[in-house]
Amino acid sequence: MTWDSDFFLYVGREIVEGRTPYIDFYDHKGMFHFFVFALIYLLGHGQKRAVIVVFSLLSGIVLFFGLMTLKELGVTKRSHQLCFVAMYLVLYGICWRMGAFYETVAPFFAVAVYLYIRFLRTGNRIPMFVGSLFMGLEMGLSLNARPLDGLWGGAIALFAFFYSLKKKRI
C-alpha cells in the first residue's frame, strides 16, 4: 500500500462520516475515486486489508481478461500464458500500488480490449458494441477522477472504429 491508498481510505472514511468533499477535505481528483474508497471503507470496516482484497480482485479481473485476450490472439501454449502471468505479477510487484486510481478502471479497459480484439478477429459486431460500453465506462469514470487515464480508452475505441471502417465491418 502507498500513501495514495492511505489517503483515499481516509477520504472514504470522511465521506462515510458525512463530511463534504472539497470543503472538509480536498484532493484534485474527481468524485469517482472518493466513492470507491468510501465503499471499501464500509466493506472493510476501515481496515487497510480491505484495500488489498478489493484491489487484488480488480487485478485478478485484469489478469483473467489479459489471458482471454492472449487466447483470442491465438496464444495457446501454456508456457507463453505463464510467462504473461509472471510478467504481470512482476510488474505489479514492482509498482505495488494497491489503491492507485488506474486500478479501479483497469478491469473496464481489459474487458473492452478483449472484446475489441474478438470483434476484429471474428467480424461479429456484438463484441464491439459491448466493448464500446466498457470503454465508455472506463473513459467516463476516468474523466470523473483522473482525465488522463481516459485517453487510453479513447485511443483504442478510435483504433477499432477506423479499422472497422477500413475493413468495411461497420
Can you give the pLDDT at residue 84? Answer: 83
Show the DSSP H helices in the chain as ranges. Answer: 3-16, 31-44, 48-72, 78-95, 102-122, 125-143, 150-167
Residues of the chain with pLDDT under 70: 1-3, 92-101, 169-170
Task: Give pLDDT tens digits for 67-102.
Answer: 899 889 888 888 888 888 887 777 766 665 665 667
The DSSP annotation for 30-44 comes to -HHHHHHHHHHHHHH
Q: What's the pLDDT score for residue 94? A: 60
Q: What is the C-alpha to C-alpha distance for residues 80 and 160, in angstroms, rounded to an integer?
A: 26
CA gap 147, 138 in Å, rounded: 10
What per-residue confidence (pLDDT) applies to 93?
64
For residue 140, CA distances in Å to 8, 9, 13, 76 come to 20, 22, 24, 34
pLDDT in tens, 133-144: 999 898 888 888
